Structures are given as C-alpha cells and as structure tokens.
Chain A
C-alpha cells in the first residue's frame, strides 16, 4: 500500500500545479476564517449580553405603564389579560404588580427643629422585585413602625435643589434612615397615626414603597374607592435592550423608562452587522468550496491521461479514490486547524482588550465555533469525495 501510494504520488504530482493548490488553499482559508469568526462573534456577543458579569442590576427591572394619551385619559389600568400576555412573552422573566395606595395619607416630622409636612401616596411591590436588603422590611398589623423604601431620586431632588432653595440642611442616606416620622392616614372616623421610617433607597422604582402586607391592610381598611386593577407593573427581564421587548411595548401602547431601553436601537444595528457577516461568510465559503472542487477537478483533469492509464492497467476506482482523497483531504484539515488557531489567538487578544473596557468574554473560543469547524470539515469531505468520485467515474467510462 505504501509503495503503491508513493508511486501514484510521483505520477500525479508531476501533473498537478502548485500555484493552483496555493490559490485554492488561500481561498478556502479566508472563507473558513470568515465563517468561524462570524460564529465566534455571535457567541461573544451573546456572552456580552447575557453573562452575569456584564449585567447591570438596575437595568433588569422596568416599570411599565400605559402611555397616557387623550384616548385613554382616565383609564390607564392594565387588564388581567394584558398582564397575562406580558407574562407569556419570552423576554419577560417575571411580572410584579405595583399596588398604589388608595387612601389619603400624609407624613409629618416629630421634630420641631426640622419641621416638614407633605401629603403622600405609596406603592407596594412583591418583595422579590426589591433591591434593598433590609431586615426591617416587614410589617404586620399591630406593628408600630412602617418601613419604607424611598427612591434615590427623591433624596437627590431634595439635596441638590430643594434644600438649597429653602435654605435647609442637606441630608445623607444615613441621616434620613435615622429619622422617624409620623404617618397620618385619613380614615372614615378621623386620622390614624403610625410611625414611619426609611430603611433603604432604591433606583429601581421611583415611588415611596411600603411592604405589601401594610398596603393590603391599609387598602382593605381605608380605601376610598374600590378599583382593584393596577396601572403599573414592574417586569424583570434578562435584556432591557432587547428590540423585541421595545417593539412589544410600542405595539401595546405601553411605556417605560426610555433610558433603559435605548440600547435597543444600537442592538438592532449590531444584530444586522452580525447577520451580514454571517451572509458574507457563507457566500465566501460557497466560493471557496467551488474553488476547491474546481482545483480538484483541474488537478484530475491535468492528470487525466495518467488516471486513464492507471485504470487501463487495472487500478480499481476505490484504490484511486482512496489515494486522491488522501492526497487532497489532509490539506483541508491543516487549513481548518490553522483557522482555529488564528481564531483562538484573536479571541484571546480580544478578551484581554475588552477586559480593559470592563467587558468580559471567554478567553477561549466557543464550543459552537468548534462544532462549526467540524461540520464544515464534514462538508469539505463530502465535496472532495463527490468531486473525486465524479471524475474517476468519468475517466472510467
């Protein structure tokens, strides 16, 4: 077998061109590099979007309500079916209903040194949607103090605008947390006074939050009207920049914090670019396959006479096919290995560069890239085999 191959190699080698092989190799390498980098880019892109390291805790919660317009003026409640539909969407992980207080309330300071009084309303949300980790976040009927979570926005507004204009002292979060104030709830029989205390600050929901248990109790006891439908919900999503989410909200006349979803536009552009890189990669690969099969055809055509004579002398089609496969196919394996090595190096460099920008991707190539490489090796094998088979048959007849 070894001798047979070495003699055949001499016969075929003298006939096939080296430049042609070089060109076909370059074409195939470029195409494979492109297609593998398209896959790897896609993998990196997904990793950047979905890995824990890159996620921003604030961005994952969106408060959604109807867009207030002349058409739905006075009727901005969200129906049960609308909420159920929202829950079903693939980009929504969980939906929490924001329950507003339906009683009149005011808060007032105990201290005369720092007097304040304001009418106020509260909202409550299931505890899993709250980002403040406080042991004080519970309330039961009979408890004296109602814990509250205030939006950072309120404090900033007070510290950087209101206090300056009113000549009041600025307050830190710690100071605010120490203040116990009076919570007055208007009931049918007069004013009910409770104590209130801010236990934490949040960026997630821009309203004064109280525990759900308090809200249920107070609404049941003192609600002035019986509208039970919520107007606002908070949704948890893996990806607030998801164009599908933005599209859905738009279609259902819902609105949310536009700041958090503004990346959706950029995402669409990036998606398009990645898709284009896929298409170019595939087109180039098709060309490369064509070039490579043409190369094999040309090589076989250029040793047509030799192959004819070999068949005349009794070489079996299988023998020739085996030899030609062994001659042409390993080249594809080497090209593939080289492409994988190059992509690996690029990935390593890219991951280090991105790390400096606080973006984290894997330093090694993705399994999908590897699988794609194997799949294309299979495709190349089939193309090689089919071409060789076709031409041997042709010479044989």
Chain B
C-alpha cells in the first residue's frame, strides 16, 4: 500500500501561468489513497506531462512537496529512487521511451528482469497476444508503428510490481478497439496488485470507472 500526497505543488517555470488558474492539483493539498483510479483532465499547456514527470521524479524544478508514504520525494537517494521505480511506481510515458535498437520483446524483458521478475516470460507472450502485437515481438522496436510501440510500452509497464501506475495519454495512438483491450488489461493488472493509477488526458473518457476525476 502506498499513499501519495502532494502539498502546494507547482513547477517553477509554470508558476506565473498557473497562479491565476483554477486547478485541483497545482498549489493545492491533495491526497491520493492507495488503489484509486484517478483521471486527470488536462487542457494543453496546463502542465500535464510535467505533473507526471514530477511524480516520477524526473525533474526537480518545483516548489511544494510530494510524499510517497509520507516520505518526502526529494530526500530519495539514487538507490531508493531506483527501488521506488522497480517496486512501487510504474509508468507509461507519452513519448513512450523505448530502446529503438533492440526488439519489442527485449524492451519488455528489460523491465521484467530489472528486478526479481514479477511475471514469467510467458506472460509477455500472453499480453502481446491480448493486445495483438505477437508478430512484432521479434522486430526491432525502431521500425514498429506508433500504435505498436504504445502497446509495447503498456506491456513493459505491466511487467513489474507496482502500487501506482502513472500514465500520460497512454492510448493516444490507438483506435477505440485496441484502447478498450489495453484498458481492460491495465484494469486487470491494477486490480491484481491492489494498485491505483493516475491517468492524464486532454478530454473526458470512459475507459475506466474512475474514483476521482481532477482538473489540472
């Protein structure tokens, strides 16, 4: 179980823009209880990706505080941060961030074997089948289409143990049929782990039964 709490959070570069905007996140005190499905609706320029990156500690240029189980995120050292990312938080980046020179399966495997494996290798095959990318598993990722790459990124994120799954427009390159399949898989995996997620998107959607929808 992992509690996420943010306190007066605001990214320094966006501070002047955000000061006069109404937001449920920026400069607010919010607590996200374990296992909750959270949707963050974020218009362009509101700092959607920035928010995800702040939670994942990819950037440091912010004011306010982020607490994971009441431990201040800025105090995590590199080893603790690695542990957090291997065991407690998983992520699907908007820009996917796959290694282009290795195969799809290797990209997924990388995250499976980075820590003590949560799943066996057969699970990769099962998920790939579910999302319809079995035939590109042996293909170099760089030559896969965006839709295929997005599904690789989704499966990669589901390979590890986590309490929170961060998703930044995870279905942006998928048609509605594939989106539904991916959402079902994500829901299943989160439920299995008693994990929650934070999903950001531009518009409202009905992919999940969100416990909470917040405006950024």
Contacts and interface: CB of A to CB of B under 8 A. Distances in A.
A377 to B, nearest CB: 28
Nearest to B105: A7
Contact of A314 (B82, B101, B106, B109): B82
A115 B152 CA distance: 120
Interface stretch (A87-95, A251-259, A316-324, A339-347): A316-324
Interface string B42-79: 00000000000000101000000000000000000011
Given A314-B114, A319-B114, A7 B106 contact: yes
Contacts of B79: 316-318
Contact of A11 (B82, B85, B101): B101
A199 B102 CA distance: 93
A4 interface: yes
A317 B79 CA distance: 7
Contacts of B111: 313-314
Interface in B79-109: 79, 82-86, 97, 99, 101-102, 106, 109
Nearest to A1: B113
Contacts of B143: none
Given A4-B113, A314-B114, 5 more contacts: A1-B113, A7-B113, A10-B106, A314-B111, A319-B114
Nearest to B115: A314
A47 interface: no
A2 to B, nearest CB: 9
Interface of B: 56, 58, 78-79, 82-86, 97, 99, 101-102, 106, 109-111, 113-115, 160
- Which 6 pairs show the lowest CB-CB distances between chains A and B? A314-B85, A316-B82, A314-B86, A4-B113, A3-B113, A14-B101
A396 interface: yes
Contacts of B84: 314
B15 to A, nearest CB: 23
A203 interface: no
A7 B78 contact: no
A362 to B, nearest CB: 50
B99 to A, nearest CB: 6
Interface in A263-316: 306, 309, 311-316
Contacts, number: 55
Main secondary structure of the interface of A (DSSP, over half): helix
Contacts of A309: 97, 99
Contacts of B160: 314
Contact of A7 (B83, B86, B109): B109
Nearest to B117: A3
Contact of B101 (A10, A313, A315, A318): A10
Contacts of B99: 11, 306, 309
24 contacts: A3-B109, A3-B113, A4-B110, A7-B102, A7-B113, A11-B99, A306-B99, A309-B97, A309-B99, A312-B85, A313-B85, A313-B97, A313-B114, A314-B84, A314-B114, A314-B115, A314-B160, A315-B114, A316-B78, A316-B79, A316-B83, A317-B79, A318-B79, A319-B82
The size class of the interface chain A forms with chain B is 20 to 34
A387 B115 CA distance: 25
A319 to B, nearest CB: 7
B59 to A, nearest CB: 11
Nearest to A11: B99
Contact of A312 (B83, B86, B97): B97
A7 B110 contact: yes
Contacts of B58: 312
Contacts of B85: 312-314
B102 to A, nearest CB: 5
Contacts of A3: 109, 113
A372 B82 CA distance: 39
Nearest to A393: B78
B57 to A, nearest CB: 10
Nearest to A10: B102
Contact of B102 (A1, A11, A312): A11
A306 B84 CA distance: 20
B82 to A, nearest CB: 4
Which residue of B83, B99, B101, B115 has the most chain A CB atoms within 10 A of its CB atom? B99
Contacts of A319: 82, 114
Contacts of A313: 85, 97, 110-111, 114
Which residue of B58, B86, B106, B110 has the most chain A CB atoms within 10 A of its CB atom? B110
Contacts of A315: 82, 114
Contacts of A10: 101-102, 106
A327 to B, nearest CB: 16
Nearest to A3: B113
A4 B115 CA distance: 9
A314 B79 CA distance: 9
A192 B167 CA distance: 124
Interface in A339-393: 393
Nearest to A306: B99
A4 B78 contact: no
A356 to B, nearest CB: 59
A10 B114 CA distance: 15
B54 to A, nearest CB: 14
A10 B109 CA distance: 13
Contacts of B115: 314
A311 B85 CA distance: 9
A316 B102 contact: no
B77 to A, nearest CB: 9
A306 B110 CA distance: 13
